[in-house]
Structure formats: structure tokens, C-alpha cells
Amino acid sequence: MNRSFPSCMKNTIAGTFVRCGWAAAVLLVLVLGWASVPAQASKVLVLVNDRPVTDFDVSQRMKLNGIIGGRRDRKSALRSQINAAVLETEARKLGIVIPDTQVDKTLRAMARNMGGMAKMKATLRKRGVRLRTMKDYIRSTILFRIMARRMGKKLSVKVDEKEVERKYRKIISDPRLRPITIYNLRQVTLPVENVAPAMRQQLLYARMVEARQIMKRYKGCKRLRAATSGIFNVRISKPLQADPKRLPGPLRKAIRLAGTKRMIGPIRSRAGVQLIAYCGSRKIVPPRPKREQIAAMVRSEAMGREIERVMKELRKKAYIEYKDKSAAIR
């Protein structure tokens, strides 16, 4: 039995495997990684034969999926860990062992496509993913391929062009892909804090006077700090992006009337006195997916269904006990 990794995967990384046929698609779709139990205590969610699946494992899987392109919801991550445990325990019964050298070879190939091993490790650390989690993911994928072959399963899918076209049209018609106009705003706050109630009204009046001074000096967002210079305790927000459709009607009207050369306010708030500067607007055009990407998505979904059929058979052989009833997957 040939247990080596597919040659088409030598120069690929997760997320682009769909070009390499079913073996590569397994890495994209299978989502089977299994993270070892950490040294610290972690809540056991499921027992698969004698293999625990912990809350930590699921958390690691969700984080790893953010790197390799898998689904990041908790339910999918838990199913991935259960599948991985099923594969591991079944392989152990059959005496199948994936050598570390084979896993490391695949890991190095993935690292090359992520800018090198050092960069890949840095990415994993940044996302809070252990290197062991990535290795276990690779090991589970290899195990799945071996198991599918032993079961006589040939994982091959054909892309239905009508399904691709239907999904493509549905996605590009999504309102979230329409261009939107964004307002760029800055907020200026003159705080009124740590003041006795008897003095608050008097200080509010003084701050209102200072706010009007700022408004008179204001010549535009680029000179906002110059307009506030010399006034004690002024807080200027970072640039804020706002969808005008979500702003209150009166504020939208005030912005249109003020333009970019006048400030809006002064406005009393719980924090003190506030001013709003409108710095202009810009149009954001969300990128549209390419048809090839949708075809890859359809192929990946079809492969996922094939993989699930295989895993369903393997899960029937395993004893799966849900220690945490809320984690049960039906």
C-alpha cells in the first residue's frame, strides 16, 4: 500500500489545494485535525473509544481553521476533532502508523508556500496555534486517505456547471457586495468630570464657550489640532468610519449642511461637551468573487459530502460518548 503523500501537494498550501484533485481537496475540506491534550487541565467534551476530545482541542481547531481556510464555527471544529479521534483509534487497531518523517515532509512543503518555516511558525504563534496542532492535522488527513482507500472508496467529484452558475449569481447579487458610501468623522470631546454637582452646570457652560472657540478656528480636519490648541483637556478621537444609513436622520442632515469646513455642535453628553468634524466621504466597492473561486467552492462542498459519507461509516464503528451533553452533534 502506498502511504506517501500525493505528489501534487508538494508545492501547495491549504486554500489552493482544489487544483490537485481529491487528495488535495481533503486537506481543504476534511477539517480533521486533532490536537493533543494539553498539560494543563482541559474540559473533556467527548470520549471517542479511549481518546478524549477536549475544549482546548476544539479551540485549537477553530484557530487553525482561520489559517488553513476551514470553517471556524465551534460545531464544525468539534466534529473535526471527533473525526480525527475516530481515524486515530481505527488506525491504531489496524496497526497503521504514519511516520513523523512523512508528516514533517508535508509540513515543510506547506511552510515553503507560507514564506518559510520561520514565517509559518510566527503565523501559528500569532493565532495561538501550536505547531503540534498543525502536525496532527496533517497526520489525520493522511490517515483519512489511507482509510478511504482500504474501504474501496474513490473520492472523485464532478462540478455541475449549472450549480456553479446558480451559486455565482446568488453571491454577486448579495446586497453586501454593493458599493457603499462611508463618512469619515472625527469627534472632539471637552470632558466635564470629577466635578461636584453644584459646579457641573457652571463648568458645562465654560466648556460650551471653549467649544464655540474651536468651531470658529476650525478650517478642516487636517487642521483640527491647530483649532484645539491652547484649550485645556481636549480629546480628539481617531478617524471614525460611519455608514450614513445607520446615523440618526438629524445628524445626517447636520453633516450635509456643515460640509467639511464647519463643525457640528456643540452637543452636551454624559462625557461633557462634544463636537463632530466631517472629513469627507469615500465609496467602498467590495471585491466580487471570480467564477473560478465559486467553482472551487462547489467542488469543495461536493468533496465534503463524499468525505462525510466515509466518516459516517467509520464513526459507526467507534464508541462515542458525549461527556458534555451540550456538545452532542446529531
Query: Tell me: the pLDDT tens digits for 104-133?
Result: 999 999 999 889 999 999 999 999 999 999
Q: Are 12 and 24 in contact (CB under 8 A)?
A: yes
Please state the pTM of the whole predicted model: 0.55
pLDDT tens for each residue of 261-284: 999 999 998 889 999 999 999 999
Helix axes 55-68, 131-150, angle to 10 degrees: 90
- What is the average pLDDT across 281-293? 88
Where, residue-wise, is CATH 3.10.50.40 in the chain? 179-284
Give pLDDT, residue 68.
82
CATH 1.10.4030.10 domain residues, the chain: 7-172+289-327
Count of beta carbons in the 10 Å neighbourhood of residue 43: 12
Which residue reads 490537485 in cell numbers?
Answer: 20
Topology (CATH level 3) of domain 179-284: Chitinase A; domain 3 (3.10.50)
Q: What is the DSSP letter of 49?
A: T
Give the Cα separation of 139 and 129 in Å (integer).
Answer: 16
Q: What is the dihedral of CA 29, 30, 31, 32, to 10 degrees?
A: -170
Query: Averaged over 164-184, what is the pLDDT?
Result: 89
Q: Which fold has domain 7-172+289-327?
A: Triger factor/SurA peptide-binding fold (1.10.4030)
Question: 463643525: which residue's cell?
Answer: 263
Q: Among candidates 170, 166, 155, which has minimal Cα distance to 305?
A: 155
Would you give the DSSP letter of residue 246? G
